Structures are given as C-alpha cells and as structure tokens.
Amino acid sequence: MSLELVDVAKTFGTVPAVDGVSLSVASGEFFTLLGPSGCGKTTLLRVIAGIHPATAGRVLLNGRDITHAPMHTRNLAMVFQNYALFPHLSVFDNVAFGLRSRRVGREEIRTRVRDALAMVKLEALAERLPAQLSGGQQQRVAVARALVVRPDLLLFDEPLSNLDARLRDEMRFEIRDLQRRIGITTVLVTHDIEEAFTMSDRMAVMQGGKIMQIGRASEIYRAPASRFVANFVGPINELTLGAIETVDNRRRARAAGELAVWLPDLEGTSRAAPASLILRPEVLRVSAGELGTDNRFPGKIEDVIYLGASSECRVKVGAVRLSAVMPSAAAAQLQPGASVSVGWDAKDGVVVDAG
C-alpha cells in the first residue's frame, strides 16, 4: 500500500506546525520522518493517522483520499511513544482490541492474536496486564497490537525512545526484520539519526514544518542538501567560501579567508549566494609525510582523542581548525605538536548555502 501526501499543511490557531509537505512512500517501504523536536514530524504523523485533520492538502492511501476520513475507518495502525496500551485490559485483550472492533470471529481472533504474540515472542504473557510487563515487553505488545489488524500502513511515533540503549539496539533490528518479513508500508518518526539510518529505506529530514531533504541514508549523509541537514545528521567541518572561480574546468575558492581549495564538480553555474564547504571528519587525511589528495595544507596537531575503534585528530591549519577521524591504528603515530599535512579530495567536499 502506498502513501502519498500532497501539499499537506496543519496549523494550530495561527501557528503552522506542518507547512506544505509533499512526499510519497512506496508500497512496502520503511520511511522515516527525521528531525529535531518541534520540527512538525509528529504532527505530520498524526495528520496521516487522522488524529489531527489536515488544514490543507491531501492524504492518499493507495490512491484513496483519506484526508477527511474518520480515524477508525483508515485501516492503519500506530505504535505510540508511550505504547498507549490499555491498562485495564490483558495483553491478549490489548492485541485483540482492533480485531474485535472489526468484528472478527472468536476463533479467528484467538489464532490471530496467538500468532501475533508468537511473532513478538510473548505467547507466555498473554494473560498479564500491561503494568506487569517490562518496557521492552510493552513495546512488543504495542507492535503486535498494531500488526495483528493487518493494516494498510504502520505508523511509529518515537517507538524506542523510552527504552534503554541496549534494548533499543535490539528492538531496532527486531522491528526492521518484522517489517521486511511482512512487507508492510511503514512510516516512523524519530529524532535519533542512528535509528533513522539503521531502520529506514528512505527518510525525510524536517525542519520548521517543512521537508529539507528526502533520500536514502547515504545520500543524506554524503550529499546533504543544506547546512542544516549536514549538521543534523553528523559532525562536520564547515569552511565559509569566498567567490568561486573556474580554472581549467575545475572550481576553486578561498576557504575561511585563507585556504585556496578545489571544490567538487557542481552541476550548473557558479553560485551567487554565499556558500560553505562541508567536510565530514572521516574524509580528511592527516599524515606526517606527503599526501596525494587534491587539497593539502601544512598544519600542526593540536590534540589526538582516542575514541576506541577510531580516533579524532584536531589539526590547526593557519587560523583554521579541522577535525579528522581515522582508525585508531592510523592515529597511533600522530603526536600533539607534530607538523603534518592535512588534505582531502575535492569530490569529498559538499558545497551548500551558507548561513
């Protein structure tokens, strides 16, 4: 079942929470709405669910316009941040709730609930009340309750934020695995980049009620469309660029006022707006010897920070500070105070609008 949003907007009073969002999610796809708190992602999810009716725009589920359909007719399912299990009903009755609403027969309810509980490995706890379960178990009940109704669309609202770190990792893979096995179209809301990256096929990064970029994890990470996206999904070095000039079909600019750097090949003409060069720490090379990279500058190591598998090396080039991340083995021979070369290939940089 595919989902399509066309120019969806939602205003509370005069405050726009979602501001003209269009996107489409393919059948069977795991799609994530990623963004900082207050970016409108939860409101957008609730518009899809019908909790908040859209102020403008259309919501299409498999081509059917459900923009104004009452919640209970949409045939979707949602897993809430606090799970929203019914505290007065047993695990079994919680899972059976949606089936009873759909007037499914007793026998079928029993088998389907049992299967759903088996799927999340909770068969043994069917008679418990939610309060008698651990956070992870409650989460599983919520997932079973959502899946058992065979919804056209599965919605997750920050489903893992109430779990401890270890359990969160486990549940990520479990949910992803279940989703793939069943092949259900899924929309997840999260502010956790790791969660978005590990679970989703594609994601939309949101800010201020608008979508900033849609793409796969690698696209968003390697080719962020804006400074905000680049900064939000990972650590960056940012160098402001002066006027961009073209030399021998290659582009060049003065970075941070002092470094002449080669830029990646850009489609289109040179940019008019002030731009920044974004460099992920892991694309920077640091060496005591010579570097073969497109850009290379002499610098001095300020600090080397051991992070386990990798190490962070802070290098000062003139007045510019750069942070490079490399395998710890490679960082072993670098000493603070040593003179080194630091460099990167032009294609590894990203040019975005500054500010």
Partner 1 sequence: MLDRRTGAPWLFVAPLVLVMVVGFVWPLVQVLVNSLHPNTPQGIDSAQWTLGNYARLADPFYGEVLLRTLRISVIVTAISGLLAYPVALFVSRRSTRAQSLFLLAYISPWLINTVVKALGWTLLLRTNGMVNTLLRALDVIPAPLKLMLNETGVVIALIPGHFMFVLLPLWVALSGLDPALSWAAGTLGARPSAVFWRVLLPMTLPAFIAGLVINFIMNMTVFAIPMLLGGARNMVASMLAYQVNLVSLDWPLGGALAVALLAFTLALVWIGQRGAGLLLAARSVRP
Partner 2 sequence: MILVNILMLVVVLAPVAVVMWMSFTPTATFVLPLTDFSLRWYREALSYPGFIDAFWLSFELATLAAVITVALSFLAAYGLARYRPRGGGALKAFFTAPLLVSAVVFGIAMLQFVNRIGLYNQLSGLVLAHVVLVVPFAIRSLEVTLRAVPEELEWAAMILGRSRLGMLLRVTLPLSARGLVTAFLFCFLLSFSEVTTTIFMTGPSLQTLPVRIYSYMSDRIDPTVAAVSALVVMVSIVLVAVLNLLGGLRRLTTE
266 binds partner 1 (CB under 8 A): no
Using the rule CB under 8 A, give the single segment among 51-59, 166-174, 267-275, 335-343 that binds partner 1. Answer: 51-59
- Choose among partner 1, partner 2, none what residue 50 binds, the Cβ cut-off being 5 to 8 Å by kind: partner 2
Smallest separation (angstroms) from partner 2 to the CB of 53: 13
Residue that the structure tokens 């102020």 belong to: 55
Strand partners, 311: 306, 326
| Of 18 and 99, CB closest to partner 1 | 18
121: phi > 0 → left, psi -120 to 50 → alpha, else beta; which? left
- Contact (Cβ atoms closer than 8 angstroms) between residue 5 and residue 59: yes
| Of 52 and 210, CB closest to partner 1 | 52
Which stretches within the chain are classed as H helix? 41-49, 91-101, 106-119, 135-147, 165-182, 193-199, 217-222, 227-233, 328-331
| Of 53 and 57, CB closest to partner 1 | 53
CA max distance for the chain: 76
Smallest separation (angstroms) from partner 1 to the CB of 272: 43
307 binds partner 1 (CB under 8 A): no
| Of 46 and 112, CB closest to partner 1 | 46
Smallest separation (angstroms) from partner 1 to the CB of 239: 45
- Contact (Cβ atoms closer than 8 angstroms) between residue 297 and residue 259: yes
Distance in angstroms (rounded) separating the CA atoms of residues 66 and 50:
8
**What would the DSSP string read from start to end of 250-267?**
EEEEEETTTEEEEE---S
Q: What are phi and psi of 236, to 5 degrees?
A: -140, 155
Angle at 118 between CA 202 and CA 74, to 5 degrees: 50
Smallest separation (angstroms) from partner 2 to the CB of 109: 13
Footprint on this chain of partner 2 (rule: CB under 8 A): 49-51, 70-72, 74-78, 80, 82, 84, 86-88, 97-98, 101-102, 145, 149
Smallest separation (angstroms) from partner 1 to the CB of 17: 12
Residue that the structure tokens 């056209």 belong to: 152
Distance in angstroms (rounded) separating the CA atoms of residues 186 and 184:
6
Kindly state the tokens that stand for 188.
């997840």
| Of 99 and 253, CB closest to partner 2 | 99
| Of 63 and 70, CB closest to partner 1 | 70
The only residue of 52, 114, 176, 300 in contact with partner 1, by rule CB under 8 A: 52
- Choose among partner 1, partner 2, none what residue 53 binds, the Cβ cut-off being 5 to 8 Å by kind: partner 1
| Of 22 and 101, CB closest to partner 2 | 101
Q: Which of 124, 105, 101 is nearest to 114 (CA)?
A: 124
Distance of CA 68 to the CA centre of its chain: 28
51 binds partner 1 (CB under 8 A): yes
Smallest separation (angstroms) from partner 1 to the CB of 50: 10
- Choose among partner 1, partner 2, none what residue 149 binds, the Cβ cut-off being 5 to 8 Å by kind: partner 2
Distance in angstroms (rounded) separating the CA atoms of residues 251 and 262:
6
- Choose among partner 2, partner 1, none what residue 52 binds, the Cβ cut-off being 5 to 8 Å by kind: partner 1
| Of 54 and 211, CB closest to partner 2 | 54
Smallest separation (angstroms) from partner 2 to the CB of 192: 20
Smallest separation (angstroms) from partner 2 to the CB of 241: 47
Residues at the contact surface with partner 1, assessed by CB under 8 A: 51-53
